[in-house]
Amino acid sequence: MLAIVRKPLTVILASVILFSSCKDNNDVKPDLRADIEYNTLNANVAYSDQFKNESGTTTVDLTDGNNRHKMFQALSYYSTSSISAKTTIDAAKLKSLFANTGSPFVDISTSTISVTGATLNSAPVQLRNVTASSKSSTEAEAVRKKMEDNFDAIATASLSVNETAAKGKAGKLGSYLLDAKGIESAQLIQKSLIGAIQLDYISNVLLNTGLNAENHSLAEGKVYTQLEHNWDEAYGLLTLNPIYLANSTDAARGTVEFGAGSYMWEYNKANYAKIYPAFLRGRAAIVNNDKTELQTQATFIRTQIERSIASAALGYLDKWKTSTTDDARAHAIGEGLGFIYSLRFATIHGADAAFSDSVLNGLTSSEGGFWDLDATKINTASDAIKAKFGL
């Protein structure tokens, strides 16, 4: 007779607990598709072509990210092109572009921007609701209101678009529109939104809390999981290109980029070429349920975006010092102030609103703003940023 071996109750309970833990653990592979060998990823092949399901259909959908990217381009284009044309700017129009209300988008076709207005007007996404979205609802709304205050400021300054700027007086200096404190609102808006939208939503939401999204089953009616889509949306918000910075060298950027994607190349020469491979490797890690690798790549991308923006802030502070005309100095500080505002979203490096505001106040809190700047103020700001970011 076959002997029955009875396991102690403690062993049985331990087995049940272990089994249950494994079944509930997010590390369990959902068996949606085969693993991807990391060494098969190719930095010379389009992003969407490298992630397909068993039927050969790409599991990548960049639409949401790309649409927000184009909305950002369109908002920036409206303010800057109006200044070039010496026409007034409508704050309500900027707010509509920001919130995608009232069908505000129009067709734009230039050497660097291609926007179909009807597509963006009908898109179920907007910029406003992802601005500062990693923050509490109160903090996020304060940032959104700050952006809209900037829209009001540039509209007011544009009433003097045919006058010459001077201390205490809005107008144009060279080709740049300044407010009464000598601040170029167009640059302040664009560079602040790089931080409040691209840095914060990509880094602090999609590639941070967004990594906890569902990866065991496909999103309803889709060919991807929510986690896959979060990662893809981050890529699509950074760049419109199938291969980010394809054929770029330190001397020449190989693709047309906008916002954070452009400044990554300009101000992070050591790491810009590693960003696309990191996006590929992270996406493969999602397919493989390799959380360790996923976190490694997400942290790398987040860190490099932050370093790029901090380096850009330093670069424009330096341009204030090296510029030889007031219009060039005003342009430099306008960009610099926007990047410094963006540093409040650089959470990997421990920056926050208090740090950002402290640096900003040291530069422009005086009555004369830009017109009162001197090398001491610039150097103090630069030193604070270098210390915080280890630059």
The closest alpha carbon to 197, from 131, 124, 99, belongs to: 131
The closest alpha carbon to 45, from 277, 352, 253, belongs to: 277
Q: What is the DSSP string of 142-175?
A: HHHHHHHHHHHHHHHHHTTTTSB-BTTB-EEETT
The closest alpha carbon to 44, from 288, 231, 241, 234, belongs to: 241
State the pLDDT at residue 8. 44
Residue 199's SS3 state is: helix
Q: What is the DSSP string of 205-260?
A: IITTGGGGS--SSPPTTSSS-HHHHHHHHHHHHH-SSSSTTTT--SS--SS---TH
Average pLDDT over residues 22-47: 77
State the pLDDT at residue 11. 38
Percent of the chain clearing pLDDT 90 (strictly above): 91
Angle at 311 between CA 179 and CA 47, to 5 degrees: 105
Q: Mean of the per-residue pLDDT values for the chain?
A: 93
Q: How many CB atoms lie within 10 A of CB 90?
A: 15
What totals of helices (H) and strands (E) does the chain contain, helices first?
Answer: 13, 4
Pairwise CA distance, residues 236 & 264, whole Å = 15
State the pLDDT at residue 5. 38
Helix (H) / strand (E) element for 299: namely helix 291-322
Asked if residue 178 lies in contact with residue 201, where contact means CB atoms within 8 angstroms, the answer is no
Pairwise CA distance, residues 103 & 106, whole Å = 8
Residue 52's SS3 state is: strand
Q: Residue 325 has which token pair?
A: 């005309």
Helix (H) / strand (E) element for 177: namely strand 176-178
Q: Picking from 65-69, 282-286, 364-368, which range would have the lowest pLDDT averaged per residue?
A: 364-368
Q: Residue 113 has which token pair?
A: 């921007």
Pairwise CA distance, residues 143 & 134, whole Å = 11
Q: Of residues 1 and 253, which shows the higher confidence score? A: 253
- Give φ, ψ of 115 to 5 degrees: -125, 130
Asked if residue 113 lies in contact with residue 262, where contact means CB atoms within 8 angstroms, the answer is no
Helix (H) / strand (E) element for 178: namely strand 176-178
Average pLDDT over residues 152-158: 97
- Torsion-angle region of 14 (φ positive above 0: left; ψ -120 to 50: alpha; else: beta): alpha
Average pLDDT over residues 262-282: 98
Average pLDDT over residues 271-296: 98
Pairwise CA distance, residues 218 & 228, whole Å = 9
Pairwise CA distance, residues 242 & 45, whole Å = 8
Reported as a single tens digit per residue, the pLDDT across 242-261 is: 999 999 999 999 999 999 99
The closest alpha carbon to 185, from 37, 311, 82, belongs to: 82
Angle at 180 between CA 176 and CA 184, to 5 degrees: 30
**DSSP code of 391?**
-
State the pLDDT at residue 162. 95
Asked if residue 310 lies in contact with residue 390, where contact means CB atoms within 8 angstroms, the answer is no
Residues near 29 by beta carbon (within 8 Å), at least 6 away in sequence:
288, 289
Whether the per-residue pLDDT at 9 is higher than 50: the answer is: no
The type of residue at 81 is S
pLDDT level of residue 330 (50, 70, 90 thresholds): very high
Stated length of the chain? 391
